[in-house]
Amino acid sequence: MPGYAYAILAAGWLIWLTPFLLARRRTEKPKEVDRRARWGVLLVAVAYSILWQNSFWARPLPTWRLAVSVCCLVLAGTLSWTSARSLGRQWRIEAGLNPDHELVTSGPYRLVRHPIYTSMLFLLVGTGLMVTPLPMLLLSVAVFMFGTEIRVRIEDRLLAARFGDRFQQYKSRVAAYVPFVK
pLDDT tens per residue across span 53-95: 988 888 889 999 999 999 999 999 999 999 999 988 777 777 7
104 belongs to a structural domain: no
- Separation between Cα atoms, residue 160 and residue 64, nearest integer Å: 42
114 belongs to a structural domain: no
Domain that holds residue 181: 1-17+34-55+63-90+127-182
137 belongs to a structural domain: yes
pLDDT tens per residue across span 112-134: 999 999 999 999 999 999 999 99
Domain count, the chain: 1
What's the whole-model pTM score? 0.92
67 belongs to a structural domain: yes
102 belongs to a structural domain: no
